[in-house]
Structures are given as structure tokens and as C-alpha cells.
Amino acid sequence: MTSSSLESPSMNVEAVLHMKEGLGENSYAQNSSHQKKNMDTVKDLVIDSATGVYASLMPERFTMADLGCSSGANALGMVENIIRGIAEVCRTSSTSQLPPEFSVLLNDLPTNDFNTIFCTFPDFISKIKADNPTVFLSGVPGSFYGRLFPTGSLHFVCSFNSLHWLSQVPPGLYDEANLPVNKGKMFISSSSPRAVPAAYLRQFQRDFGLFLKSRSAEMVEGGRMVMSMQSRETEVYTDKKTTLLWELLSESLASLVSQGLVEQAKVDTYNVPFYPPCIRDIEDEVRKEGSFRLDCARKYDCNTSTGGDAKEAARVVSMAVRAVQESMLNYHFGPDIMDMLFHKYAELITESMEKEDIKSVQLAVVLIKL
């Protein structure tokens, strides 16, 4: 068997990656409490930025976009906060003006479960009816690493738990003989050769540069963008807060290999399209693109452990990771191993949590369109 025959077909991230659809036990809608916690951490920053844009521009129609909205309650939760914040600005102004019309544009990849979001729209409207807003909701399928909206149409853009996902698995993870250089690992690890983090950084620079260029064309002057994503605590690529959960998932796959349930070659050729940027990575790309001013960048420690029963906390984390990554794992390995894989993953997370808390780092960034 040749090395090329062992290599899996290149994963088309735009066609494959999506959060687990529906409202079932394994769905993203039922397993996104950690993402909700991360969004709550930056809620005040988001509301202040959105109301600041409105107060400075005073548009009759306020157009906002949520990029990487996913599905479930989180998709409209922050929108509700923004609308209430702007309504309060209007109510307390010297002229007691009526709030603007709101155009809410929810974006995610075409395979996203938009229907689950739309089914929650009546409940969403009932929650904000006291503010009497007029809200127009649209779903916009497509990659945010490219144009999505008309020129100069957006006042406010937000993105949560999304920009750490790349548009593709980075090229450069195979050597001249077409053999994987990051064997046994799906992401950057302490054993990865230098070529691996270099490949991931190049892909991030390309993607984030396209993201900024696209949003620059779509946003009005003075518009603001708030982004929250997984990050690294330092510029070191192997920061434990970034890599631990990936290492445990790799160990879970290795366990299935030892049982003869998965081929080692399949594990060696599985790489994730994920890159958690440090603050410097963001600063460099914003400076190079040149259309935005970096208003602020803040890091937040997020404790994945709940402080209670480690086994239950590990189950919650395992289910959350499954809801996000099952589409990619299923594409590469097939559906038959999923239950066994995540059972082992929960066991390893439990062991880790019994020793110490599992933490991650979130980076919140506010950009102002020049």
C-alpha cells in the first residue's frame, strides 16, 4: 500500500464542519453551555460597543451581523441583549426617540442548522416585545472568510466561538514523500516539528486577512466589530490551556488503535482546522490590513471544570466537544466509533479533572472601521 493511498481525501471544511444539528441529546443546542458562559463573559463589552455605534451614527435602520451563529439558544441571546441596550439608549435620550428598525443577519456555513434558530424566533420576539422593536431576521449561509453582505451595509458585527476555526486544514503538514509530519496528533503538540505551527500560523494569517478585508468592504465608517475566540495565553504554541483537550482526544483515538478499532494511518492523517491566535497574531493582521483600529483586546480565563463531581463535569465537556467536532470526525473515521471514542474521552477528562482544573483562554477584540 502506498503512502498516498493511506492519505484521506482533503476535508472540505465549508461542506463538512457544522455543529450537531437538532435538539437531541448530542445536539449543539443541548451541549453549548460553555459557549454560553464565554459569551456572557463579554456581554457588557458587546452591548457597550453596539450602543456606542448606534449613539454615534443614529441610523434609522440598525444592521448587525452575527458571524458563526451556529444553532440553539445562543444564536439569538446576544441579539436580544443588543436590541434591549439600544432601546434603553433611545428611551433615556433627551428626545425619547423610538428605536430603529433592526436588521439581524445570522451567518454560518451552509450545513448549519438554521431551522432550529428560526423556530425560536417567535419566543425571541415575545421576550423583547416590551421594547416594541421592529426586527427583520435573515440567515446568510457561507464562509465568513469572504464577502457575505453588500458594500457599506453593516453597522455592527459580532462573532463568538468561531474565528479559531480555519477555512481549511493547513497545507504543509506532509513531507516531500507525502507522509504526515504530525503523526499521532491532530493539532500542534510538544512533539510537533516546527513545520506544524508554522503551517497553522500561515493559514491563520491568510484567513484572518481575508476576513478583515471582507468586513472592511461591508461595514460603514465608524462601525464596530466584536470578536471572541479561543486564544493562547502567551505566544508559545504548546500552551497547556490550548492543547490539553486536543491531546486527550488524540489519546482517545490512540486507545481505539490499540484495540484494533481504528487504523493508525487514519489517525496520522487527521488534522483539525483550528488555530487559537494570541493577541500579537491579531495585532499584526489588523495592522497589515489597515482598515480597522484596534480599540481593545482582552484575555479571559475560562474554567472548564465546575468544581463539583469530576465525572459529571467531564461528561459535559465531552458532550460539548462531540457536538462541535463530530461532523469532522465522522467524515474522516466514519460513524461507528463515535460512542466509543467519546466514552474514552470522558474517562480521560475525568482523570485530568481529578488532578487539576481544566482551563482555557478566551480573547475578546473590538475593532473600529476607519
Give me the pLDDT at residue 363, please: 95
Give me the pLDDT at residue 28, please: 54
Give me the pLDDT at residue 93, please: 78
HSE-CB for 45 with a 13 A CA cutoff? 24
The string of DSSP letters for 41-78 reads HTHHHHHHHHHHHHHHH--SEEEEEEET--SSTHHHHH
Give 110: exposed, middle or buried? Use CB within 10 Å, 0-12, 13-18, 19+: exposed
What's the CA gap between 298 and 275, in Å, rounded? Answer: 18
Give 367: exposed, middle or buried? Use CB within 10 Å, 0-12, 13-18, 19+: buried
Alpha carbon of 295 to those of 221, 224, 291, 363, 364: distances in Å?
A: 14, 9, 13, 13, 11
Range list of H helices, 7-134? 13-16, 33-41, 43-57, 74-92, 114-119, 121-127
pLDDT digit string (tens) for the chain, length 370 residues: 333 334 444 678 776 766 555 555 655 545 555 666 777 788 999 999 999 999 999 999 999 999 998 876 777 889 999 999 999 999 887 677 888 999 999 999 998 888 888 888 888 888 888 777 899 999 999 999 999 999 999 999 999 999 999 999 999 999 888 899 999 999 999 899 999 999 999 999 999 999 999 999 999 999 999 999 999 988 999 888 889 999 999 999 999 999 999 999 999 999 999 999 999 999 999 999 999 999 999 998 887 766 678 888 888 888 888 888 888 899 999 999 999 999 999 999 999 988 888 888 999 999 999 9
Q: Which residues contact 259 (CB under 8 A, 6 or more apart)?
A: none
Residue of 105, 91, 102, 109 whose CA lies nearest to 13: 109
User: 240-258 and 310-333 are packed helices; what angle lies between their axes, rounded to 10 degrees?
Assistant: 70
DSSP three-state, residue 222: strand
Give me the pLDDT at residue 357, please: 84
Give me the pLDDT at residue 162, please: 93
What's the CA gap between 187 and 170, in Å, rounded? Answer: 11
Task: Quote the cell numbers at residue 256.
Answer: 481505539
Give me the pLDDT at residue 4, please: 36
Residue of 297, 84, 273 whose CA lies nearest to 188: 273
- pTM summary value: 0.90
Q: Report the sign of the C-alpha dihedral through residues 305, 25, 272, 288, in that order.
A: negative
